[in-house]
Amino acid sequence: AKRKHASHKMDAIRWYFQEQLPNYLRSIPLPKTVADFATLTREQWLQILPLLLFLLVLLWMLLSPIFSSLCKRKEKRPKHVVNKRVKKDEEKVVDTVDIESIGDEKAFCRCWKSKKFPYCDGSHNHHNQNNDDNVGPLVIKSEKKRERKK
């Protein structure tokens, strides 16, 4: 049954390409020269229009990938941006922290989501849950704190 159904489909396709399409193309009043396009009647234009639209779409499909790759402008920012909120008006985010002001221990943000940037506020926990990620802070400890723990 499947083979018979497929055969019917192929018969319809064969009929279209061997009979219907050639008949349609023969019936189109194609001018012999470019100047003859100006002499076509409204009805003749309506007969030609589907073919012209098909050819334009086909041409566009063939040429658009070529032109888009040639004309592609480099974007200043990539589409995937890690920093979505911290100091966006600056060219580069640079923070300086005096080692003396750190105290015994300080956690620094590495997920770019902290509201206390450059310090960690735990925003990475929410990010990790939502994105199946494992980012965490950079923790800096003083030698004194390590010695006290021993």
Indicate which residues carry an active-site annotation: 92
Please give the Cα distance from 95 to 109 (Å, whole number).
Answer: 11
Widest pairwise Cα distance in the chain: 99
CA 146 to chain CA centroid, nearest Å: 49
CA distance 109 to 86: 11
CA 23, CA 33: separation in Å to the nearest integer? 22
- Asked if 11 contacts 20 with a C-beta cutoff of 8 angstroms, the reply is no
Instruction: Please name the residue that has the structure tokens 């009043």.
Output: 29
- Phi, psi at 141, each rounded to 5°: -120, 145
